[in-house]
Amino acid sequence: MSTLTDPTSTGASPGPAAPTGEVVTLVSRKTPVVLGVLTVGLALILLFQPESGETTLRLARETDFFQLPDLTLPTMPTAWALTIVCALLTGESVRRYLAKKRTPMWLVAIYAIAWMTGFLVWAAVGETLPVVGLLAGSLALAVPLVFGALGGVLGERAGVVNIAIDGQLLFGAFAAAVVSSMTGSPWPGLLAASIAGALVALILGLFAISYFVDQIIVGVVLNVLVIGITSFLFSQVLAPNAADLNTSARFKVVPIPVLGDIPLIGPILFRQTPVVYVLYIAVAVVTFALYRTRWGLRVRAVGEHPMAADTVGIKVNRTRYRTILIAGAVAGLGGAFYTLVSVPQFNREMTGGAGYIALAAVIFGKWDPIRATLAALLFGFASNLQGVLSVIGSPVPSQFMLMLPYVVTIFAVAGLVGRSRPPAADGVPYRPQ
């Protein structure tokens, strides 16, 4: 399928073509350029919209074991200091480019944190920025996105484009709500969500693997189908019997004994609902399984070159079925977040297109579970920023703050990530000879 496959080169490929017989490492100049543009942008904001005052960063919540004192910073000096940090990091990136070295991931990460902090310190002038609440909330909001992205990575690594992530999330949410309402406990709901996700994946597999239907078509249509079925059943069955079928038991926050008491990190990472802890396990297991086990090697082989995999005796389509069923189960777990953590009932179209954001995270993360997770966390941060900014107010219209993460993503995809290369056989059905 050509729609998801980038050609290997276009007229605008960066750098000169490598002369034959000579090894030349091509380093993209996009990263330093984008970092530079962002630094200048931040500096311009500070120049033309200076704010006098102080910004308070709240580093602990009342319930925390260690009460870190609030950090009160003079707004403009802090923002300028962070801008200088950004400029230095940009300089380092340029230096590496000139030395024909790549800009490492950690540099971009530190840059992103410095830039965002500088911007927020400026935006929240005269107010208190609840750092812990912001980050902990971001993590919670990112849960369905991370599960969805993991499901997407798994499927696509095996060569099946999974656009049906949104459907898997939504059906997972539906099943979780119904089962946990009937049993009165969230755990069976979580299991049901996982099964529901796998069910959607099974239909995807049936059409995409067995009947060679274009996987993008199946994915998009499955999303619509799940919206239709869940909305129909919601108004016909759930709404009239809400007390029995649509009052789910929610997960409670369970602090992990010692880890949860670490200042700053503890309340963010280890005072969450069990779903978040399942998420940690899922990220670790998926990453390990994909890169360090024989099963993972086979999955990747099937996704890159199914015919070669077939030649050495790997059952291509059976491997693909198995992988997307697991992928669907993982994505379905994410759906449980909506009805077992977020709100105690199912509502029509309650995922709000989160599956498509998860899909973007998959591509943003270059089909790698860790990077896709980070991308999903970024989106979670973006959606949580919305609530925080509406509370503290900011000098720029809130709509522009809200669109910022999406603009940054476009920048990142065009500049930092550049040409992302999907698994070679992604979206191509395999017909055994």
Nearer to another protein, 70 or 368 (CB): 368
- Segment near another protein (CB under 8 A), from 95-103, 122-130, 152-160, 416-424? 416-424
The span from the CA of 42 to the CA of 80, in Å, is: 9
Residue 222 binds another protein, judged by CB under 8 A = yes
Q: How many CA atoms lie within 13 A of 277 on its CB side?
A: 14
Binder of another protein out of 397, 431, 432, 433 (CB under 8 A): 397
Residues 19, 21, 23, 29, Cα dihedral to 10°: 10
DSSP-assigned states of every residue in 77-106: HHHHHHHHHHHHHHHHHHHHHHTT-PPPHH
Query: Is residue 346 a contact point for another protein (CB under 8 A)?
Result: no
Between β-strands 71-74 and 128-130, what pairing exists: parallel, antiparallel or unpaired?
A: unpaired
Of 126-134, 176-184, 305-313, 418-426, the segment contacting another protein by CB under 8 A is: 418-426
Give me the phi and psi of 129, to 5 degrees please: -100, 115
Our finding on whether 10 is near another protein (CB under 8 A) is yes
Selected range binding another protein among 16-24, 115-123, 179-187, 206-214, rule: CB under 8 A? 206-214
Q: Tell me 72's DSSP state.
A: E
Structure token pair of residue 297: 């090697």
Sign of the Cα torsion 143, 369, 165, 388 reads positive
Please pick, from the candidates 82, 165, 357, 374, the single residue that binds another protein as defined by CB under 8 A. 357
Stretch of residues binding another protein (CB under 8 A), selected from 151-159, 180-188, 218-226, 266-274: 218-226
Question: Per rule CB under 8 A, is residue 26 in the interface with another protein?
Answer: no
| One residue of 47, 71, 224, 242 binding another protein per CB under 8 A | 224
Closer of 25 and 399 to another protein (Cβ): 399
127 vs 426, beta carbon nearer another protein: 426
Which is nearer to another protein, 59 or 377 (by Cβ)? 377
CB of 112 to another protein, least distance (A): 17
Binding of another protein by 348 (CB under 8 A): yes
C-beta closer to another protein: residue 36 or 418: 418
The answer to whether 216 contacts another protein (rule: CB under 8 A) is yes
Q: Residue 49 or 235: which CB sits closer to another protein?
A: 235
Q: Does the footprint of another protein cover residue 432 (CB under 8 A)?
A: no
Name the nearest CA neighbour of 172 among 405, 355, 395. Answer: 355
Select from 205-213, 250-258, 289-297, 308-316 the region that touches another protein (CB under 8 A).
Answer: 205-213
d(CA 197, CA 305): 27
If we measure between CA atoms, which residue out of 253, 295, 56, 282 comes closest to residue 157?
295
Judged by CB under 8 A, how many residues of this single chain contact another protein? 55
Alpha-carbon distance 365 to 372, whole Å?
4
User: Is the CB of 5 or the CB of 56 nearer to another protein?
Assistant: 5
Q: Is 393 left (phi over 0), alpha (psi -120 to 50) or beta?
A: left
Among residues 236, 257, 281, 433, the one that binds another protein under rule CB under 8 A: 236
**Which member of 53, 228, 352, 393 binds another protein (CB under 8 A)?**
228
* Nearest distance, CB of residue 263 and another protein, angstroms: 35
Type of residue numbered 113: I
Is the CB of 212 or the CB of 280 nearer to another protein? 212
Cα-flanking dihedrals φ and ψ of residue 25, to 5°?
-85, 125
For residue 185 the two structure tokens come to: 């406990």
Q: How far is the CB of 324 from another protein (least distance, A)?
A: 17
Distance CA 161, CA 367 (A): 11
Gap between the Cα atoms of 199 and 336, Å rounded: 15
Determine, following the binding rule CB under 8 A, whether residue 307 of this chain makes contact with another protein: no
Does position 33 interact with another protein (CB under 8 A)? The reply is no
Contact 189, 339 (CB under 8 A): yes
The first and second tokens of residue 288, run together, are 């390990």
* 237 part of the interface to another protein, by CB under 8 A: yes
Q: Directed axis angle between helix 165-183 and helix 215-233, to 10°?
A: 30
Does 12 interact with another protein (rule: CB under 8 A)? yes
User: Could you tell me the smallest distance in angstroms from the CB atom of residue 366 to another protein?
Assistant: 11
CA-based radius of gyration for the chain = 23
Would you say how long the chain is, in residues? 433
Q: C-alpha angle with apex 167: 282 to 374, nearest 5 degrees?
A: 40
Q: Which residues sit at the interface with another protein, rule CB under 8 A?
A: 2-4, 6-8, 10-12, 30, 207, 211-214, 216-218, 220-222, 224-225, 227-229, 231-233, 235-237, 348, 356-357, 359-360, 363-364, 397, 399-400, 402-403, 406-407, 409-410, 413-415, 417-420
